[in-house]
Amino acid sequence: MAALSKQTIRDLDVRGRQVLVRVDFNVPMKAGSIADDTRIRAAVPTIEALRHAGARVVLMSHLGRPDGKVVDALRLAPIAAHLADLIGVPVAAVPDCIGSAARAAVKGLHDGDVCLLENVRFHAGEEANEPGFVAELAALGDVFVNDAFGTAHRAHASTEGVGHLLPAVAGLLMEREIGIMGTALADPARPFVAVVGGKKVSDKIGVLRNLIGRADHILIGGAMANTFLQAQGHAMGASYVEGSAVSTAAEILDAASQAGTRLELPSDLVIAPRLEVDAPAMIVGVDAIPADQMALDIGPDSVSRYGAVLREAGTVIWNGPMGVFEVAPFAAGTTGIARAVAECAGTTIVGGGDSVAALEATGLADRITHVSTGGGASLEFLEGKVLPGVAVLRDRH
């Protein structure tokens, strides 16, 4: 998708209008407090731009998985209070997202005011994209702004349905997400390097196939590397191997070779007899894994090789950790890749929840061009799939 293929809030006159904005405030909560406000802060530029343009801003989001029932622990009032602190104006927490309470709250807004509707997933009609629920949400706005890239891969009422009933445009965060990632796929500065990790090849088949022929290098890590190594004939000991995907891995290796994309695998691994913080870990070559040991991270030689490629890249996309980074002895591979990506002078994009968490843990996030707020959405975008929450937005003519 081209960077400017969709209309944005810059294309609308919103003064005095009720602007229904889908944001992604699905943030981690601990004991009723917000544990990480990254997604809330990411929405602030759009909210502020609409406020200053005189819009009456009506925010809607989900939180957690209440499955169509009211769950008090998943109410959005704490998020409304936190957002108010961030933007310096009151944010009314509306006790429902439809019905008389929602209509009254929206009717009471003045130009520049902001309210946050209650968790849309308290109603089963949200995930079902039920027409009656869609119509009730749409009645609260004159226009629809989707700024929730993280949920754009879901055809839900608040992400896609309302876009068929109201003029629909992208918010600033959505514009940035689809612009930067779209350009990286369609017209990247080269060399274009993709780092793909995680557990299962099957989870990343679409991404890998879409990157073959586009990327100059694909660097593989995580447990999925075990499956590729087995496909090459290496004995992987007690390592996790996705048996049903070994033949697929072989096909991907062959396709990359034919397309001129260098698909690179680890040369050494960190192994241990069990996945525990006190397990005796050691580094071995990929052809020297004992039968009772499992590979849990890429080794230092692999980090060095991958790092050399990354530092020279014109564009980097990273999705998926290199090992079990949550357990200290097996975090060095992911940390090393994070440092190498941060040292790259080109355009760097990190997506996927685990990759972003690992990056945040290193304190290097501010050195990355773009850290995507979308986990599943960024993955599907990299696969080349059409995202319903993006497709519904007005095209730029």
Q: Domains (ranges, CATH) in the chain?
A: 9-175 (3.40.50.1260), 188-382 (3.40.50.1260)
Q: How far apart are CA 119 and CA 93, in angstroms?
A: 10
Mean pLDDT value across residues 255-283: 96
Q: How confident is the model at residue 381 (pLDDT cuts 50, 70, 90)?
A: confident
pLDDT tens per residue across span 355-372: 888 888 888 989 999 988
Mean pLDDT value across residues 291-302: 97
Q: Which two tokens stand for residue 91?
A: 């944010």
Tell me whether residue 17 is one of the annotated catalytic residues.
no
Q: How confident is the model at residue 1 (pLDDT cuts 50, 70, 90)?
A: very low
Q: What percent of the chain has pLDDT over 90?
A: 85
Q: Which two tokens stand for residue 117?
A: 């509707």
Residue 78, Cβ density class (10 Å: 0-12 exposed, 13-18 middle, ≥19 buried): middle
Mean pLDDT value across residues 233-255: 97
pLDDT tens per residue across span 309-351: 999 999 999 999 999 999 999 999 999 999 999 999 999 999 8
Tell me whether residue 307 is one of the annotated catalytic residues.
no
- Which pLDDT score is estimated for 358? 83
Mean pLDDT value across residues 181-197: 93
Tell me whether residue 39 is one of the annotated catalytic residues.
yes
Q: Where is pLDDT greater, at 15 or 150?
A: 15
- Which pLDDT score is estimated for 2? 40
Residue 89, Cβ density class (10 Å: 0-12 exposed, 13-18 middle, ≥19 buried): middle
Tell me whether residue 376 is one of the annotated catalytic residues.
yes
Catalytic, out of 41, 103, 200, 311: 200
Q: What percent of the chain has pLDDT over 70?
A: 99
- Which pLDDT score is estimated for 185? 87
Catalytic, out of 64, 353, 375, 384: 353
- Which pLDDT score is estimated for 355? 83
Q: What is the mean pLDDT of the chain?
A: 94
pTM of the predicted model as reported, rounded to 2 decimal places: 0.87
pLDDT tens per residue across span 116-165: 999 999 999 999 999 999 999 999 999 999 999 989 999 999 999 999 99
pLDDT tens per residue across span 57-85: 999 999 999 999 999 999 999 999 999 99
Determine contact, residues 197/222, Cβ cutoff 8 Å: yes
The answer on pLDDT for 222 being more than 60 is: yes
Catalytic, out of 22, 39, 51, 56: 39
The answer on pLDDT for 3 being more than 60 is: no
Q: Which residue has the tokens 């050399």?
A: 308
- Which pLDDT score is estimated for 349? 94
Catalytic, out of 54, 376, 384, 394: 376
Query: Which stretches of the chain are DSSP H helices?
Result: 38-52, 77-87, 99-107, 124-128, 131-138, 172-186, 201-211, 224-231, 246-259, 300-311, 332-343, 353-362, 376-382, 388-391
- The alpha carbon dihedral of 252, 266, 307, 203 has a sign of positive
